[in-house]
Every structure is written in C-alpha cells, then in structure tokens.
Amino acid sequence: MTNPLLSDWDTPFKLAPFDKISDTDFAPAFEEALIAHKAEVDAIADSAESPSFANTIEAMEVAGESLNKVLSVFFSVAGADSNPAREDLQRAFSPKLAAHSAEISANKALFGRIKAVWEARDSLDLSEEQQRVLMLTHRGFVRGGAALEGADDDRMKEIKGRLAVLGTEFTQNLLADERSWFMPLEEGDLEGLPDFAIDAARAAGEEKEAGGPVVTLSRSIIVPFLQFSPRRDLREQAFAAWVARGANGGETDNRAIAGEILALRQERAQLLGYDSFADYKLETEMAKTPEAVRGLLMDVWAPAKAQAEADAAVLTEMMHADGVNGDLAPWDWRYYAEKRRKAEHDLDEATLKPYLQLDRMIAASFDCATKLFGLKFRELDVPLYHDDCRAWEVTRDGAHVAVFIGDYFARGGKRSGAWCSAMRGQAKFPEVQGPVVINVCNFAKADPALLSYDDARTLFHEFGHALHQMLSNVTYESVSGTSVARDFVELPSQLYEHWLEVPEVLAEFATHADTGEAMPAAMLKKVLGAANFDQGFATVEYVASALVDLAFHEGDAPSDPMAKQAELLTELGMPAAITMRHATPHFAHVFAGDGYSSGYYSYMWSEVMDADAFEAFEEAGSAFDPETAKALETHILSTGGSVDAAALYKRFRGRLPGVDALLKGRGLAA
Ligand SMILES: [Zn+2]
C-alpha cells in the first residue's frame, strides 16, 4: 500500500487525507520525500544545459513537492495536536531537515548556476516578479553561506544544524513547563471569578484529572485569574509560575540554551561579513537597519512609559484603599486594572463575554471579507486532524478561491498562542494551485464558546493573515501570501483588527448567547471607548521585549543573557509593576526559531502602517469603501513578496507612514 502522505491526494480540493494518515506514516514518507527532493536538486545542479531562469530558478520552485506535502501535514499536527510520538518524530526530523537545507544552500554547483543567471539578469527579459524571485533566490544563497569556502563553510553548517536542534529544545522545554504546572483551587478560591473563568478552571481540572478546578499556564486561563481573583497570595503564586516558564532549573531550563543560540547567531553573522546578527537580519526587512528599529521603538517608549507610570499611581491608590499596603506588584496590575475598567468604563469582561460568541465572531470576520472583497464561505464536511477543526470553501463570483480551516480551541498538545499557516500556498506555476489556509487559536472550549474582547481581536488578526494567503495572486509560490518581509507581514493581520471596531460590525454580530439580543448601544459605545484602556501597560510590556531582543543581537552576544536583560530593563527604567511580555527563557518568538529574532519590533512597525492604512478607509468615508478595498487587495493582499514592501506600501498609500498615527491609535499622543 502506498503511503497516504505520498499518494496523489484524490480528495475534495486535494486536501490531505487526514483520516488515512497515521503517525507511523510520517517517518517513512519523510525519508522518501527527502531523498526525492535531493535527487531533484542534484539534477538541477548537475544539468548539462547552460543555466537559464527556467532550468534553474523555476526548476527550484517546483522541486520538493512530496516533501512539502509531508511537512505541511506533519507541522500542522505537531504544532496544533502533538503527542509523545509526534514529539519524538519532531526531534528526529529537525536535525535531518536542517542538514538537508544546509546541503542545498551549500551546493556549489547549484549556487554557480544561480549566480550565472543572476549575473545575466539584464539580458533575460524577465517580468518584475521573475526578477524579484531571482534576486531573492540569489540573496538567500549568499546569506545562507553558499559563497563560503573551507573551514568557514564547515563551521557554518555546524552552526545551522545546532541552531535547529536548540530551537526545537527551547520549544519543547517551554511546552513541558506549561503542561506540568497547575495550581489546584478549593471551591472557596473561585470567589470573585466570573462564570467563564470558573468553567475554564473546571474543564482544565478535568483534563489534568486533578479532582477539582485548577489554574494552568494557558493564557486563556491564567490571565482571567490574574484579572479577577481577589486572592493576592494565589495571584502571586500563579504569576510566579507563569514568568518562570523555561527558568525552573533542571532538564527543561532554557537559559543556557538562549545563551548558546545568541553566541551562534553572532558567529554566523560574522562569518557572512556582517558586524552583528541584527545587521544581517534587518538587511531583508522594510526597516533595513538596527538604528531605524531603535528609533521607532524609543519614539514610542517615552510616551508609553509616562502613561504606564500615571496608571500605576492610580492602581496603587486603589490597592491601598483595598487595605493592601506597600507597592503595586506585577500580579496586582491586571486585578486593579480590571477594577478600574469596571469603575471608569462600567464594562467588565464577564458582562461583555456572552455577547462575543465564537460562532458569531467567525461570521463577523467572514462578513467583513464579503463586504470588502466579495468572498463567500461555505462550510465543508471533510476529515481533518482533530474533531474541533472546521473547514470552509472560499469562493468569489462562483469561482474557487481557497479552503479555510479553523482550529479554535485550547487543548493539551497544542502550542500556546495563535497562528496562521498555509498547508498549501497559492501559485500559478507550474499550474494553478489554490491555497489551503489554517488559523489555530487557543480559546477556552465551552458550549457556546465565548470570547474575551482580546480573543475576538486575535480571531480577526489571524483571519487577516489568512486573507493575505487566500487573496494571493502571484505566479511563484515562494513569493505568495505571507512570504513577505517580517516587518510587513503583520500589516494585513493588524489592519484587519480594525474591522472588529467598526460599530456596525459589533452591532450586527455581538449578540447575547442566551437572549440573542444585540449588544446594547451603551455597551457598544463603552467597548469601543475601552479599546485604548491600559495601553500604557500593553505598550511598555511589548516595547521592553522588543528592545531586549534587538540589544541581544547587536554586537557581541551577551555571556549571560539574563544579566543583560536585567541591565537593559534598569537602563530603560522599566516600571516595577510591569514585566516583559515575554522574558528570555520563554521568548519563543526569538528563540524557538529564527523568525522574530531581532524582529520582535516588527509587530509595532506594522502597527504604524495598519493605523495609517485604515485611515485611508476613514478618509474615503467608509470602512467598506470599495475603491480603497480594491487598492488594498491589488497592492498589498494579492502581491505577496513579489515586490519590495516599502514600494508596495507607497503604491497603496502614495507615501510611507510615520509614528504619529500609531500613538494616536493607542491613545498615547500628547
Ligand atoms: Zn500575526
């Protein structure tokens, strides 16, 4: 019997046949696909024909089809639905995969052909997208070390392999710490918690077989606990465990791993001729230099810190009035901020939550896409990797556009956070290929499932990424969808969050779970008014993380990252009651892989643009202005990475954005 991962997927929309795939299929399929890809690459490198765009660059584009199939399925389940067998597989695959791509990027014959095409580029009559793909391919090889020789070359290979292993270990340690800790609650400890938080604590207790409700380190459980529990001692205990993830000593400690990763990255950058890893990393970004990044972050830091300090004074006073003396601690901030929100905005999460039903919010995110881009959604009945997953066919004017999959609920074995990935990217070469896109979230499961306002934003955010994939309209898969500069990739997602705040959207879709009634106008006004609430806190915890990430990668790697982190926070004058959003031992963005290393700033860089981009709709007089929506699709959502990010933004808006729109958006403008 053929391995179902490698067979032709004769399924609706050529989706992976999840009902036929078992864990024992992955290893043999992986090995076979790896060998096949290697043979294809060797055939390109050793071709007797003289190098051309078609026999080199386009041939590379189509190579590795089987490997892509196997890995798209494997990484989906390893991230969203892991188990010990899949963790073992990931540990086995990761060094092999690193070695495989290292072998390709170090293939001298292949690089020689790419270089030859690159040097002949002006005489090849290439389209704009082809020139871009050629430039990216050539630059990718140079940055990967293809031009290195001898000992430098060997060392680069070692570094890459080791970094891949360390990144996987970092992730698995974090998951182990998140999974192993929980705090049992007595019935009396539930006092003050809203129903949804009690339900989530009970469900988590059942999953852990704890014989009663528990607090876990899942963001959707611990954050409400910190917001609502009047038990300061329990908040402190839970908070201490939360910030200690990856720093508990023993086998799952990530601190030494972080240090080794930073040292290897710096060595890698220097081998390639860059002063620092940040210089190397930012070369391909819209920001281009560390100075540009620091400039933006520091422009935001001062007003954010001032706002946070003013807020801390208010919260401290509330705490003292509560009979608790001393300084406001990090485990107090969310609790008193929630009380303040209730007092000043008379809007508490528990009252709001029944209006934010998951199903209605999914419908809202779809409806906005219908109004803006004419997309229609039809739910499908297809086998997926978990019963919680749902799938829709996305069409426009009757024509197939994409398949969209949503995997919304938290469970053990799912990585924390939320993400979007393409199980298959859009392409027109060698033939038309419709995207299959998945959003994975960690919402607390219940019937009906209710979201916090933050959760609803996350839903819109990830759906914005999904639109970037689904509306992609390029020729080559390597530049399709979200294959763009890291500091540009959050523009579509953060921009899409703005539609959740369009009053008519909540008015239509925020209906009460029990009564079906629309959100009362007064509450709607408060929700929208509260959007800027506590932005001093949110901006400070984020910018501190981004500045530490940047400093870690400038110049020599710190011998003790934890000491360096402490030093930087002191220099910045970090408010005492706020911690970094992600401290080093659990900063997965930066250490689980290379994606956001010296790139965590990019969320804010993108937010500068999203505020400015949404203003284009406001200037046009409607959040659904058809011409602006068309321009957004034409210049941003359909173009992927086929054009430089700064150029794309200028085509959409006629100019580049500045920091003022961001400060205004966060309520931090003086
Ligand atoms: Zn995102």
Q: Please report the beta strands in 325-374, taking only residues with DSSP state E, as ranges in sequence order.
A: none
- What rounded mean pLDDT belongs to the chain? 94
Q: Are strands 419-424 and 436-443 parallel, antiparallel or unpaired?
A: antiparallel
What do you get for the CA distance between the two ends of the chain, in Å?
Answer: 68
The pLDDT score that the predictor gives to residue 657 is: 77
DSSP state of 379: E
Per residue in 131-174, pLDDT (tens digit) is 999 999 999 999 988 888 899 989 998 998 899 899 999 999 99
Question: In degrees rounded to 5, what are phi and psi of residue 407?
Answer: -125, 95
| Annotated catalytic residue 462 | yes
Per residue in 249-299, pLDDT (tens digit) is 999 999 999 999 999 999 999 999 999 999 999 999 998 889 989 988 998
Active-site residue (options: 61, 393, 462, 497): 462
Query: Six-digit token pair at 538?
Result: 């949110």
Distance, CA 438 to ligand 1 centroid (Å)? Answer: 13
Q: What is the mean pLDDT of residues 619-633?
A: 97
Between 655 and 574, whose confidence is greater?
Answer: 574
Q: Check whether 350 has a pLDDT greater than 90.
A: no
Distance, CA 546 to ligand 1 centroid (Å)? Answer: 15
Distance, CA 493 to ligand 1 centroid (Å)? Answer: 6
d(CA 551, CA 128): 36
- Given a contact cutoff of 8 angstroms between Cβ atoms, the answer to whether 574 and 284 are in contact is no
Query: Six-digit token pair at 576?
Result: 């005492």
Distance, CA 489 to ligand 1 centroid (Å)? Answer: 7
- Given a contact cutoff of 8 angstroms between Cβ atoms, the answer to whether 284 and 213 are in contact is no
Task: Name the residue among 174, 166, 279, 254 with its Cα closest to residue 562.
Answer: 254
pLDDT > 90: percent of the chain = 84
Distance, CA 102 to ligand 1 centroid (Å)? Answer: 28
The pLDDT score that the predictor gives to residue 670 is: 66
Distance, CA 439 to ligand 1 centroid (Å)? Answer: 11
Distance, CA 219 to ligand 1 centroid (Å)? Answer: 16
Q: Check whether 660 has a pLDDT greater than 90.
A: no
d(CA 179, CA 189): 22
pLDDT > 70: percent of the chain = 100
Distance, CA 420 to ligand 1 centroid (Å)? Answer: 8
Ramachandran sector of residue 398 (left: φ over 0; alpha: ψ -120 to 50; beta: rest): left
Q: Check whether 1 has a pLDDT greater than 70.
A: no
Per residue in 198-230, pLDDT (tens digit) is 999 999 999 999 999 999 999 889 999 999 999
- Given a contact cutoff of 8 angstroms between Cβ atoms, the answer to whether 602 and 490 are in contact is yes
Q: Check whether 436 has a pLDDT greater than 80.
A: yes
As a residue count, the chain comes to 670
Q: What is the mean pLDDT of residues 387-402?
A: 98
- Given a contact cutoff of 8 angstroms between Cβ atoms, the answer to whether 583 and 565 are in contact is yes
Distance, CA 464 to ligand 1 centroid (Å)? Answer: 8
pLDDT confidence tier of residue 516, bands split at 50, 70 and 90? very high
Distance, CA 596 to ligand 1 centroid (Å)? Answer: 11
Distance, CA 468 to ligand 1 centroid (Å)? Answer: 11
Distance, CA 416 to ligand 1 centroid (Å)? Answer: 14
Query: Six-digit token pair at 455?
Result: 């959760």
- Given a contact cutoff of 8 angstroms between Cβ atoms, the answer to whether 367 and 509 are in contact is yes
The pLDDT score that the predictor gives to residue 287 is: 86
Radius of gyration of the chain (CA): 25
Distance, CA 653 to ligand 1 centroid (Å)? Answer: 22
- Given a contact cutoff of 8 angstroms between Cβ atoms, the answer to whether 667 and 535 are in contact is yes
d(CA 191, CA 193): 6
Give the other-Cβ count within 10 Å of 429's Cβ.
Answer: 16
Distance, CA 634 to ligand 1 centroid (Å)? Answer: 21
Distance, CA 601 to ligand 1 centroid (Å)? Answer: 12
Please provide the DSSP assignment of 219-260 as one string: HHHHHHHHHH---HHHHHHHHHHHHTTT-SSGGG--HHHHHH
What 3-state DSSP class applies to 377? strand
Per residue in 4-39, pLDDT (tens digit) is 999 999 999 999 999 999 999 999 999 999 999 999
d(CA 660, CA 383): 48
Per residue in 564-585, pLDDT (tens digit) is 999 999 999 999 999 999 999 9
Question: H or E element: which one contains 422?
Answer: strand 419-424
Distance, CA 45 to ligand 1 centroid (Å)? Answer: 37
Distance, CA 276 to ligand 1 centroid (Å)? Answer: 26
Distance, CA 220 to ligand 1 centroid (Å)? Answer: 18
Distance, CA 354 to ligand 1 centroid (Å)? Answer: 26
Q: What is the mean pLDDT of residues 505-513?
A: 95
Distance, CA 606 to ligand 1 centroid (Å)? Answer: 10
d(CA 254, CA 558): 15
The separation between CA 530 and the C-alpha centre of its own chain, rounded to angstroms, equals 25
d(CA 255, CA 81): 26
The pLDDT score that the predictor gives to residue 346 is: 72
**Can you give 312-335 as a three-state secondary structure string?**
HHHHHHHHHHCCCCCCCCHHHHHH
d(CA 344, CA 338): 10
Per residue in 49-95, pLDDT (tens digit) is 999 999 999 999 999 999 999 999 999 999 999 999 999 999 999 99
* pTM for this entry: 0.81
